[in-house]
Amino acid sequence: MKTITCYGQVNNGNWCQETYESATRVAGQRVKQLRAAGFNAVSGSLGPQVTGVGVVRLTQVHILPGSNPDTFGLPTENWMLTRI
């Protein structure tokens, strides 16, 4: 699996939201990775958003603890947080 690049993350322990570029289609891969680790995860389109690199279509992944005590222990294998 290639490295998954996340454009933003908000995590308070009870839930987490991550943002990915829709064109890369990695949001679905991240959801699959999180579900395999026991988290409840869903993705949805945010549509075109203005970013530092211009207008980009983004997808958001919403994560709940599921069978885990919180969302602080999210799997990070093949995953990198990038700020844009």
**Mean pLDDT of the chain, nearest integer:** 89
Q: Quote the pLDDT of residue 13.
A: 93
Q: Round to the nearest angstrom and report the end-to-end CA distance of the chain.
A: 23
Comparing C-alpha atoms, which of 1, 65, 73, 72 is closest to residue 30?
A: 1
Specify the pTM: 0.87
Higher pLDDT, 70 or 5: 70
Q: Say yes or no to pLDDT of 36 above 90.
A: yes
